[in-house]
Structure 1
Amino acid sequence: MTTSPSSGRCPVSAPRQVDLIDPDLYLGDGAHEAWRHLRAHAPVSWQPVGDIGYWSVVGHADACRVLRDHGTFTSEQGTLLNLLGKGDPAGGRQMAVTDPPAHARLRGPLQQALSIKAVENDRERIRRTVTGLIGPLADGGTFDFAAAMAALPMGVIGAMMALPEEDWPRLTRLTYACIAADDPEFRLAPSPQATLRAAHRELFAYFQDVVTRRRLALGDDLISVLLTMEFDGRPLSPGEIVSNCYSLLLGATVTTAQPPNAAMAALAGTPVLDDWAAHPELLNSGVEESLRWASPTQHFMRHTTRDVELQGVRIPAGDPVVVWLASANRDEKAFTDPDVFDIRRAPNKHIAFGVGAHYCIGHTIARVTLRVLFAELLAGFTDFALAGDPVRLRSNVIAGYAHLPITARPRPRTESPRR
């Protein structure tokens, strides 16, 4: 039996211990090698971090159990490892760190605003955003696909929040500083911790100003929804509104930019992209596979509210438990040939958006955006090839790429598949 220090007995860690928090692990394929080993030998294991630590969960079934059982595994003490041992001051106020039933009351109005009907009304604007971003591919030169994709989420969620377009580049950079604070390219201060604090201060101050102005001129945007909704019979406080604006922005950035990057890095130079272009009926299944393959949010953290057992391992009440979504989405027990990018994969029970009550509220807008992107990309271009070494993000939060140089050529009109 494996136990944690909080149980008063010596911990037995997984064999061939790898520091899963180390951001350098995610610059290559080291994390997937470690997760593969853990799935086979220690699917639930104690991972020490100095004087503290956390329980690591790497299998698909166990991940689903943890994320679904909010009564046993609470979100309110923080959902990311950068809050390990610290707690989350937004707990109970921000939707992402509020447990049911209060979570549902916070989520309802925003869920309606992000319904498939509402999102479909934005499809043409999303298409214009996409074509503007990928248009330079037609020039035939080297194109940094990851840089273009980094701008995609803000072009969608920024418009839905009615944020000024001139602010989008700054907001994109600040958001990346939050999710990749260990990456020197996005560092705002001498250390990752100081970078996080600086990015948080700037983003929260920005949204405080936006919310103050928006209160005087309400519209049909997402911030106006937050300003006019009620929670437990009262309006949201200014702090709650700002916190949820930050959460919406962060979630959109994580879920939308990286699946196209992961797909391009894996498939450029292979016949798969042309195969996909020739079979537009595979658009949806290919998008879902890009989500599984990328698993852009690498982990979620929970804390146990009572003693619980997983895989025969006793986890004491109050301990942090980290679910590695990227590992669960490559679990051999849940997916046939999990290390193959299969545009025809069905069923595809990936958990890239999480599972349970905290299933990503922006999944609809992310899916519509990705479908529009891949449809335009595959219909408009062919002969995709890597034009240099991809540069991955140095982060244990987000799996993805900072730079992805590619080339392509416009697809002749006679070759364009019907959409």
Structure 2
Amino acid sequence: MTVTAQTSRCPMHAASAADLFDSGTFATTDMHAVWRAMRRDAPVSWQSVGDNGFWSVTRYDDVQHVLRDHTTFTSEQGSLLNLLGKGDPAGGRQMAVTDPPRHARLREPLQRALSVKAVERDLPRIRSLVRELLAPMKDGGVFDFAAAMAAMPMAIIGSWMRLPRADWPALTRLTGASIAPEDPAFAGPGGPDRSLVRAHRELFAYFQDVAEERRTSPGDDLLGVLLAMSIDGERLAPSEIVSNCYSLLLGANVTTAQPPSAALLELAGTDMLADWAAHPDLLVSGVEEALRWSSPAQHFMRYARRDVRLRDVTVRAGDAVVAWLGSANRDEDVFPQPDTFDIRRRPNKHIAFGVGPHYCVGHTVARVALRVLFDELLTGFTDIEVAGEPVRLRSNFIAGYTSLPVTARGVRP
């Protein structure tokens, strides 16, 4: 596949001619160098994909505009590049691909269930789960930090949905296959398309069975909220419940698993970890910097409802527009020294959780979990070093790692 320009559209500048549709690009390329060139030379640029294509938006202000303005840019035709030109069968039924006002009616009950008070009540359990995940690192041997972090979101959301603990590893694997079907860690027979279909089929069948079992006694967990939800006087259809369970699972894995690995890879073996450990008052600002730095959800896609101007480019009605969060969070016009990990960065107006109507519904849970994780890491371990080559995830959606070998010394029994 090649990156080309169409005569009616702005070409991708030669300095940044990277294939942003190919997931392999993100596993082998310095994407921040690519986005830096795009912000400078072609902040709104077109990439052809066969007979289709998409606009890339790379500057902070433009990304904010595309994600906030749901009247001009709809999410309901698909919000991820792997659905480019295919549409999304969940459009209008799944919260992530539903526009206001229906989106707000889906979101509000879940937002209440994920309130600060609810998360604070769950804090002891979250800390216990984090300590359990980090415990093997205390023996001083090589520890795959990224693999441990991959299990953390499921441990948290699994309890919030009252899913059996025995099911968590399989659900983690299936969610990974849904996010990155082209990655060798998740690819199965028949190639990535077949892997994606299998993962979706298994996850949807799982939640269909669980929802059916729970229908008579929903409970007050997240699945129970979906089962009890009514919009305009009508309960959610079974397919809507299943689709939103899938979306919650996906969202948890996107926001929580990757920031710790990205931060540790940057800080391990430097004085910055010791500096952070010596200043517990910087826990919150450091976590926000880890979110900005990693920008785990690299993009969200929208479709233009009408012709619209973005900078000096006309985006036509029906065109796909991809807002690159990973680029926006390193925009030099917003973040001084954007390529420096600064635990003291304030203000830090990152958009790692998105922006606008689709701002991550689970951001409170994710933030609390990450603060607990970094607190346990900084107070419980020292001499953290990278002990092998990290393996980057093959995905144009998630920025992250499937493996990060480290060694450390535990400072608590």
CA distance in 2, matches of 1:376, 1:29: 32
The answer (yes or no) to whether the contact 1:189–1:198 under 8 Å persists in 2 is no
- Post-superposition Cα deviations, 1:329-385, rounded to whole Å, max 9, x if no partner, equal 111111000000000000001110000110000100000000011011101001110
Following superposition, the deviation at residue 412 of structure 1 comes to: 6.1
The answer (yes or no) to whether the contact 2:229–2:236 under 8 Å persists in 1 is yes
Name the residue aligned to 1:61.
Answer: 61
Letter of the aligned partner of 1:10 in structure 2? S
CA distance in 2, matches of 1:139, 1:407: 9
- Post-superposition Cα deviations, 1:369-419, rounded to whole Å, max 9, x if no partner, equal 000110111010011100001111111110000000001101269xxxxxx
Letter of the aligned partner of 1:174 in structure 2? L
Per mean C-alpha deviation after superposition, the further-off stretch among 20-29 and 61-70 is: 20-29
Task: Give 2:12's match in structure 1, choosing from 11, 14, 23.
Answer: 14
Name the residue aligned to 2:326.
Answer: 326
1:9-408 alignment to 2 at 5 Å?
10-16=8-14, 17-408=17-408
- Post-superposition Cα deviations, 1:66-103, rounded to whole Å, max 9, x if no partner, equal 00000000000000000000000000000000001111
Letter of the aligned partner of 1:77 in structure 2? Q
Which runs of 5 or more residues in structure 1 are unaligned? 414-419
The answer (yes or no) to whether the contact 1:386–1:407 under 8 Å persists in 2 is yes
CA distance in 1, matches of 2:219, 2:77: 34
The answer (yes or no) to whether the contact 1:188–1:199 under 8 Å persists in 2 is no
Following superposition, the deviation at residue 63 of structure 1 comes to: 0.2
CA distance in 1, matches of 2:301, 2:13: 22
Following superposition, the deviation at residue 189 of structure 1 comes to: 3.1
CA distance in 2, matches of 1:203, 1:116: 29
CA distance in 1, matches of 2:28, 2:334: 24
- Post-superposition Cα deviations, 1:16-41, rounded to whole Å, max 9, x if no partner, equal 12111122221244321111110000
Following superposition, the deviation at residue 209 of structure 1 comes to: 0.3
The answer (yes or no) to whether the contact 2:5–2:11 under 8 Å persists in 1 is no
- Post-superposition Cα deviations, 1:241-263, rounded to whole Å, max 9, x if no partner, equal 00000000000001000000100
CA distance in 1, matches of 2:202, 2:125: 28
Letter of the aligned partner of 2:406 in structure 1? I
Per mean C-alpha deviation after superposition, the further-off stretch among 380-389 and 20-29 is: 20-29
Following superposition, the deviation at residue 114 of structure 1 comes to: 0.3
Letter of the aligned partner of 1:336 in structure 2? P
The answer (yes or no) to whether the contact 1:305–1:318 under 8 Å persists in 2 is yes
CA distance in 2, matches of 1:98, 1:292: 26
In structure 2, relative to structure 1, the CA distance for the partners of 1:289 and 1:29 (3 Å cut) is: farther
Following superposition, the deviation at residue 188 of structure 1 comes to: 2.7
The answer (yes or no) to whether the contact 1:149–1:261 under 8 Å persists in 2 is yes
CA distance in 1, matches of 2:365, 2:232: 27
The answer (yes or no) to whether the contact 2:5–2:47 under 8 Å persists in 1 is no
CA distance in 2, matches of 1:118, 1:189: 42
Following superposition, the deviation at residue 217 of structure 1 comes to: 2.6
Q: What's the Cα RMSD here? A: 1.3
Following superposition, the deviation at residue 232 of structure 1 comes to: 1.8
Letter of the aligned partner of 1:168 in structure 2? W
Aligned to 1:408, the other structure's residue is in SS state strand
Letter of the aligned partner of 1:79 in structure 2? S
Aligned to 2:270, the other structure's residue is in SS state coil
Percent identity between matched residues is 65
Q: After TM superposition, which residue ranges in structure 1, 4 or more long, deviate above 2 angstroms?
A: 9-12
Aligned to 2:406, the other structure's residue is in SS state strand
CA distance in 2, matches of 1:104, 1:212: 25
In structure 2, relative to structure 1, the CA distance for the partners of 1:211 and 1:201 (3 Å cut) is: same
Aligned to 2:257, the other structure's residue is in SS state helix
CA distance in 1, matches of 2:299, 2:13: 21
Letter of the aligned partner of 2:263 in structure 1? A
Aligned to 1:322, the other structure's residue is in SS state strand
Following superposition, the deviation at residue 4 of structure 1 comes to: 8.3
The answer (yes or no) to whether the contact 1:177–1:188 under 8 Å persists in 2 is no
Normalising to structure 2: TM-score of the pair?
A: 0.97
